[in-house]
Structure 1
């Protein structure tokens, strides 16, 4: 049984959301470095760790979506769920709200049924 391949329009939306997630990873590293160098070392390590995990998952999902592989949809779903879950420790620095909304959007775009073109 083969996985459903994403339509071109859906893949375009997913790619955009994955780029947003990858952009958030850069912001997280920028926010995490002063925390690590300052008085909040543990929290800074958590922030940078979240950034690394999201960067790896986002990069893998983006590569799969670009290639149109069968793993694109499952990887995108895993990335969306991970983005939501890993947003929880980021809530104190407000970016957690933005990453959670982005993760929810990624899941909605990925699993919502296709609309008929007619």
Structure 2
């Protein structure tokens, strides 16, 4: 699972790949349609698509010469679960943390 998370977060680290994924969330797109808003070659876009596919975030289907891409939202599931686990603080937890920090600061000021 850690390797999968590494691939997902590495794929999402690039703004071009995030933009591609956002476009695919609105519906399937051809490689040409995905390349259109970006100032880069089709070869460069294809490399970005390969990274997203390896991470399990998109699938590609070839019909003749046309390659259509489709988002795989389930590919984000493991990352979402991981983020919820690490960021799962509620207000009581934050209040307790604030009290601990204040106590530590007060103790440091008295020394």
Scaled by the length of structure 2, what TM-score is found? 0.28
Higher relative helix content = 1
- TM-score, scaled relative to structure 1: 0.27
Bigger-Rg structure (1/2): 2
